[in-house]
Amino acid sequence: MLHKDQIIERLRENHLRLADMVSALSEEDFDAAPPGKWTAGQQLVHIYLSLKPLTTALGLPKIGLKAFGSPQRPSLDYDAVVAKYHEALANGGKAPGKFVPDAVSYRDKDALTDKLKGNLAKLVSHLDKYSEGDLDKYQLPHPLLGKMTLREMLYFTIYHSEHHHKVVAGNLQK
């Protein structure tokens, strides 16, 4: 199990790596994507759209999280969460509509990376009010993976940005 400080470190590392990569792209690379796939800008917006509800949820009073019920099992470890995500994708899982980005303009690149970084900073700030035990005490619904403890949701969030970083890097090699 990753401890809260390790989770925070990996959240920052993975999200900033994606933001910095996209920020450094030329207009041609920013807009490039295989047919039917998202551009680098859209990948970045997707990560922002995915991070935003988690940031909002963690900003609620803890009593507000009780509306999502209490976990009935121990938290899965990082690798199990990643495996569950890969299984969902292999079974045709896709981002629900509210997480699907619209077209993204290159001229908005800096504003978008700043938005992601700002939301990340807010998420990390909200995590200050949660103890190590709280990460396993509360749960949230994930649109693809179902109910997840906060720890699992944070594991997913760490991996999700890494996954989309790899997609952007792969698209640049084509």
For the chain, the domains span 4-172
Compute, in degrees rounded to 10, the torsion defined by CA atoms 114, 117, 118, 122: 170
Listed in sequence order, the DSSP H helices in 24-149 are 27-31, 40-59, 62-65, 78-90, 109-127, 134-137
Q: DSSP label at 1?
A: -
Compute, in degrees rounded to 10, the torsion defined by CA atoms 49, 53, 56, 57: -160
Q: Which CATH architecture group holds 4-172?
A: Up-down Bundle (1.20)
Has residue 163 got a pLDDT over 90? yes
Map tokens 């700002």 to a residue: 118
pLDDT tens readout for residues 58-78: 999 999 999 999 999 999 999
**80 confidence band (pLDDT: 50, 70, 90):** very high
- The pLDDT value recorded for residue 172 is 85
**159 confidence band (pLDDT: 50, 70, 90):** very high
- The pLDDT value recorded for residue 173 is 81
Has residue 86 got a pLDDT over 80? yes
User: ∠143-144-150 over CA atoms, to 5°?
Assistant: 70
- For the segment 143-172, the average pLDDT, to the nearest whole number, is 96
**15 confidence band (pLDDT: 50, 70, 90):** very high
pLDDT tens readout for residues 92-125: 999 999 999 999 999 999 999 999 999 999 999 9
Gap between the terminal Cα atoms of the chain: 36
Has residue 174 got a pLDDT over 80? no
pTM of the model: 0.96
Has residue 126 got a pLDDT over 90? yes
Neighbouring residues of 137: CB distance < 8 A, sequence distance ≥ 6: 70, 71, 149, 150
Asked if 76 and 152 count as a contact pair (C-beta separation under 8 A), the reply is yes
